[in-house]
Amino acid sequence: MSTVTPVDPAPREAAPRLTNVPAATRPGWTPPDDPRLAFVLSMADDELMIGHRHAHWTGVAPTLEADLAFSSLAQDEIGHAAIWYGVAEELTGQDEDTLAFGRAPAAYRHATLLEAEPGDWAFTLVRQHAYDLFDHLRLDALTDSEDASIVGVLGPILREERLHRAHARAWLSRAVEGSAVGRDRVLAAADQVLGQAGGLFETLPWEEELVKDGTLPLMMGDLREPWIAALREDYDSFGIPEAVDGLDLAGGLGGRQGTHTSVFLPLWQEMTALFRDHPGATW
């Protein structure tokens, strides 16, 4: 059985240094011994990070409806994270909380785009749209997985994700239809988000193995083309085809292999503070 080494619940003295250097080039990096675990954790961590960032808007969103929406989106995404941590629990024997909050920063496998700070409202919407499009494609592809644990939990997740994509589309089209300020902000946000979207599709060194054993019906990199097509279609329908110009799939790499940006350490410290200070706490 493979395991994820939990970090000592006591506060760490020296925080590990995080860089933007893709992990594959980092000396001393070794792939995890269980590719399936690495993959399931990448989905769980993606959802946990975006859920945490969405929760930022609770109490401070521009409208009451938006406040409720992002609170709900956060609950949904964290709920999905719990499901994927549950699948990882079958592989490690470690419970959801330990997997979510008890790992060292370099053990997290989410795309770095998802750890980025909420930014302005436009950044939040553009990121939600880009990520939910990707997540939907990923979940859809997984319906052909030969892994019963993965396929078994897709139903409720897919059902909820439909609303997420619809929400992002409705808000973005509304934002660009208004004043030039809104449109400019969305374009600036698209430049920023699409410049780091490559990390979503980062091809992991162990993915081939997962494709071979049927866990993955395709390489995550194979989702790039359909994702770009879906993105173009939506941006065209909003009347901002130029928003795709900033797309750079060579940006934002490293997260899936545990290399994160400088904003991740404070995020990790905040998210795991209670777990580290009060091991085993429930309330």
Partner 1 sequence: MSSDVVNETAILEEVRAAVAGVEDPEMQPITVGELGMLVEVSVDGPTAVVDIMPTFTGCPATAYIGADVEQAAVAVEGIDRAVVRWRRDLSWGPERITEAGRIKLAETGIAPPGSGQTQQNSLLGIGGVRCPYCGSRNTRADSPFGSAPCRSTHSCRDCKTPFDAIKPI
Report the interhelical angle of 224-238 vs 121-142 (nearest 10°): 140
Q: Is the dihedral of CA 41, 46, 47, 51 positive or negative?
A: positive
Q: Is there binding between residue 88 and partner 1 (CB under 8 A)?
A: no
Binding of partner 1 at residue 157 (CB under 8 A)?
Answer: yes
Which residue from 7, 10, 51, 5 is spatially nearest to 30, judged by alpha carbons? 5
**Candidate ranges 147-155, 211-219, 237-245, 252-260; the one touching partner 1 (CB under 8 A):** 147-155
Q: Which is nearer to partner 1, 21 or 278 (CB)?
A: 278
Q: Would you call 154 exposed, middle or buried from its count of C-beta atoms within 10 A (0-12, 13-18, 19+)?
A: middle
Q: Tell me if 258 sits within 8 A of 109, measured CB to CB.
A: yes
159 lies in the site for partner 1, by CB under 8 A: yes
| CB 132 within 8 Å of CB 67 | no
Size of residue set near partner 1 by CB under 8 A: 31
- Pairwise CA distance, residues 139 & 143, whole Å: 7
Least Å from the CB of residue 239 to partner 1: 17
* Member of 23, 40, 73, 111 binding partner 1 (CB under 8 A): 73
Of 160, 191, 209, 222, the residue at the interface with partner 1 (CB under 8 A) is 160
C-beta of 21 vs 60, nearer to partner 1? 60
Query: Residue 195, class by beta-carbon neighbours within 10 Å (0-12 exposed, 13-18 middle, 19+ buried)?
Result: middle
Q: Residue 175 interacts with partner 1 (CB under 8 A)?
A: no
Rank residues 30 and 63 by Cβ distance to partner 1 and give the closer one.
63
Can you say whether the dihedral through the CA atoms of 243, 244, 250, 254 is positive or negative? Answer: positive
Interface with partner 1, residue 68, by CB under 8 A? yes
* Beta carbon nearer to partner 1, 71 or 94: 71
C-beta of residue 21 within 8 angstroms of C-beta of residue 106: no
Determine the Cα–Cα distance for residues 172 and 7; give it in Å rounded to an integer.
40
Contact letters for partner 1, residues 20-59 (x by CB under 8 A): -------------------------------x--------
Q: Which of 41, 49, 78, 100 binds partner 1 (CB under 8 A)?
A: 78
Does position 86 interact with partner 1 (CB under 8 A)? The reply is yes
Residues that bind partner 1 (CB under 8 A): 51, 65-66, 68-69, 71-80, 82-83, 86, 152-153, 155-157, 159-160, 162-163, 166-167, 169-170
